[in-house]
Structure formats: structure tokens, C-alpha cells
Chain A
Amino acid sequence: MLATRASTAKRLARSFATAIDTKASGVKVAAVDNGQPTTAVTVLIKAGSRYQPSPGVAHVLKNFTFKSTAKRSTLGTVRESELYGGVLSASLSREYLALTTEFLRGDEAYFTSLLASILATTKFLPHEFSEYVLPVVRDESMHASHVPSTLAIEAAHGLAFRTGLGAPLLAGAHSHVSLDSVKEFATSAFSPSNIAVVGTGIDSARLADLVDKALAETPLPSGSSSLSTPSSKYFGGSARIDSHSSDQTVFIGFGTTAPSAALSVLATHLAPPSALKWPSVPRSSTKLTPVYIPYSDAALAGVLIQSPDVKSVTEAAKSIVEKLKKPLTAEQLRSAVSRTKLDAAVTAESREGTALALGKKVFSSADASVESTLAALDKVDAATISKTVSELTRETPTYIAIGDVSALPYVDEIGL
């Protein structure tokens, strides 16, 4: 068994030994090829919601991607990509805006030139803004505001980090975003130093070549990006949001300015995900979800508790705080570490996880390979965890309560 484990590690190391190519255009490119039949090219841009100059601009820009460019109209982009059988998508996180194209091997030239034309020559037409983009933005914001777990995490970020990472991810119902602000944000975000092109299922040198050719035809706005973000500081606080949805939701969390493996192990320990799909009959209606969200210079960790009635939420919250204050037994530590390692490996083997890991490697030149993550998790022991807990409890916790506000507990009532 030890022998097979060693060979797995070697195979992983080979596939992640990628070079980062920097071509004349200034855009960094990295790719991994594991022989899969489809290719995915992702452009990661440091234009997440933490860099936006005013609320909602990043969300609108994410919806404005893949619209009319100098060469193709919106309809032309969609129809031509459909003819190739490709899938276009854009996603926004607090740090990155990711434009992804997934397609069969052999169609790389078209899709890289499409991505380059989107970055360099999007027209930002006013009628597309009002007819195509704004309705989708409003819809996404409205849907997100009706999901208690999303609402809890958003509120937690706002309380924990205030500016930068605490800026709202989506454009709220009342934030007015003008077309000019989106254009300005796009021009400053799409500069070569801000962009990383990441590929899976394609050779690194070939991708760099294609990107170079595409950007030679449609050059990016030159000059360094003028986007800046304040370095993160953790504040914490508590918020109570009245809501009539069926789930009473409580989020108990802590933030730090340094993501660490111990923090992710702690989150898994506090709310251990079940190894069986249906662990008991009847199933408990209280749902506990561990939350660990690392960023480049901060992390938010905690537990999300959801249940239809307030009493079970209060009991679950109190038991979690008690668990937090008790030191871990060896068995608890081992199961938490194993489960965290599994979750990390599963994330890393997905296409999005690989793209994100490569992107982080490109931007920060840090080694973000799977083996280093797993090795860091292996080093976590009970002493590290209790040290982390004492550091966390010294700060103000982030506590969000959503639901029947008059009945849900307060921070001091659950023992924090």
C-alpha cells in the first residue's frame, strides 16, 4: 500500500511540473496536459469584487463578457462557438474574474483568438447593456438574496473584512452601475500584468504560441493596471437579518490574515461531513456545513448551521462552540486531517480546481501543487490546532443569524 501511494505522488508531481511562459505580449501562460479528450482554456483576470472601484461593477463586467466585439456580434460569438461544440462561461469570485472556454481538442486556435478578442475589443454597446446585461445582473442578485446560505456568507465577508474582500460580490438591487464605469474598469483590469491564461488538456508551449498570435492581431491596452486593493484586515462583528424562508441559518466564523492548513482542519473538525450518504434514519434536519474560504492574504473559516426550527439551531451552535473550546483527541485529529486531505484532493482534480491552482502559481509564483497542500495538512497536529483556536477566540467572531430574528440566539448566548 505504501508503494502505490509513493507512485501516485510521483505521477502527480510529473503532471504538475509545468513551465510558466511569458511571451512578448506580457501575459503569463501555464498549462497541464493529462491526455483528456477535451481542452479548457481559462483566462484569469485579477478583477474580482475586491478590486472594483464602486459596488457592482465587477458583477456587471462579468456579465458583459462574450458580448459584441469588433469582429463578431454577440449572436455570432454564440452561434460560431456552438458550431464547434464549445461551452463559454464566465465566473466571478472576490479575487478573480475567470473566462472559460471548453472545447474538443483541435479547436484551440479559434477559442484562443475568441478570448483575445473579448479582452481587447469588446464594444460595450449601450443597447446591449440595457437589453442583455442589466436584466441578468438584477436576476442573479435577486436569486442570491433569496438563498440564506449565500446571504450568510456575503454578510460574513462584509463584517469580517469591511473593504476589499468585504465588498459585496454581486451588484445589489440598489447599486447603480453606469456603462462608463464598467468600460473604465475593463480597460484598467485587462492589462497584461493582470492576466493569466491557464489551460488543461493542452500543451503549455502550444497554448503560449496561440495566445501570442491572437494578441498580436488584437493587442491588449498596454500599461500596468491601475487597480489596487487594500491589504486585508480582520474585524469581525455580528449581524441579524430578518427572513421568512424555511431555514433558520446561523453562521459562526473567524477570519485571519493568513490562510493556514490548521484552519481548514479545524473547520472540518467542527462540522464533520458524513462519510455515509444516509447516516441515520430518521435523518436529522439540522445541516452543518464547514466553511473554509482562503484568499491570497486572508481566510474566512467557520460553520454554517441550518435547520427549520430555532431550538435545534441554538443547540447545534452551543455544541459547536463547546467543541471549539475542547482540545482534540488523536482520533478526532486524524479523521479531520484525512477528510480535509480528501476534500483538497477532490477540488484539485476538478477542472476548475486545476485552473485556479495554476493561476495562483502564475500570479504569486508560489508552489500550489496538490502534494504540497497534502503535506502541509499532514503536518497539522493537536498543538497547532489549539494554538490556532486561542488566536481565533482572542479576536471578535463573525456571527450571522438569518431567520426569526427575535428568537435566534445572540453571540454571547452561545458561549463566544
Chain B
Amino acid sequence: MNALGPSLAPYVRSSRTLKKWVAPLAQWYANLMGYRKMGLKYDDLRTFLLPSSVCITAAAHEVDFRARGITRSSKEYYDRVYRMKLSAHQSVLHKPLPKEQWMSANEVFRYLKPHIVGVLEEETERAAWDTMTVQRK
């Protein structure tokens, strides 16, 4: 079970009929969730749990190795923090953003995915190197 969770999305995308039926349903559900009205992307919802024993002033990416992916692109990190600040302000006002500022359907939603995949690959490689047995030929 990796940090990205199990997913049927690759199977659905590979089949043309499934894609035709499932995609509109998926878009309707995503719009219903309401995060797009607050100007957020899907990966902005991905928060990372801090271990309870760690001091709460540490940033998430300094503690959880899976969260290391966030800081791998400074532009994406800056945009993420900006969108979160904007949506926090809207939450204080108890109002969604005006319609022209909603996140549209053709934005890149899973921007963290390549970074998280990279971190997971590194961790798998580290575990492999740590537990390998060496045999001299």
C-alpha cells in the first residue's frame, strides 16, 4: 500500500467505453465536492500526518518522508501555499470564490503525483540496498 493508495483509474482509462461512461460521473462528483469552488486542486487536499511524538512546529515535509515531494518544485510549492491561503480566507468569509475564479476541469490536478512517485522509488531503493545480501562470485 503506497502513499498514493490503490486506484482503478489506469484500468478505466485504458478502456474506451468505461472512460466514456465514468469520466462525466467523475467530473460531476469532483465538482460536487466543492474544493474547486474554493480555488483548490485535488492534490492541495492531500495533507500529511505528523507523528504525534514530534514537536508541532516542524513542517510536514521535514518529518514525513512522503511529504518530501512537496518541496521538490519551488514554483508548485509557492502556488500551493498561495491557493491554500486564498481558500482559508474564503472559509473565514463562509463564501466560495466568484465563478470566474473556480478551478476549471483542464487544470493539472495531480501535480504532486510525480514527486511522490519519485520519493517512493527512492525509499524502495534504499530499503533494497539496506536489506540485500552480498555473494562473492
Contacts and interface: CB of A to CB of B under 8 A. Distances in A.
A76 B73 CA distance: 23
Nearest to B115: A127
A73 interface: yes
Nearest to B69: A127
Q: What secondary structure prevails in chain B residues at the interface with A?
A: helix
Interface residues of B, number: 9
A131 to B, nearest CB: 8
A73 B134 contact: no
**Which residue, of A83, A126, A127, has the highest number of chain B Cβ atoms within 10 A?**
A127
A83 B74 CA distance: 35
Interface residues of A, number: 8
B119 to A, nearest CB: 9
Given A73-B125, A76-B125, A76-B129, A83 B72 contact: no
Contacts of A73: 122, 125
A325 interface: no
B129 A126 contact: no
B72 A79 contact: no
A126 B125 contact: no
Contacts of A83: 134
B126 interface: yes
A76 B72 CA distance: 20
A73 B134 CA distance: 19
A75 interface: yes
B73 A126 contact: yes
Interface string B93-134: 000000000000000000000000000001001100100001
Interface in A49-96: 73, 75-76, 79, 83
Interface of B: 71-74, 122, 125-126, 129, 134
Interface of A: 73, 75-76, 79, 83, 126-127, 130
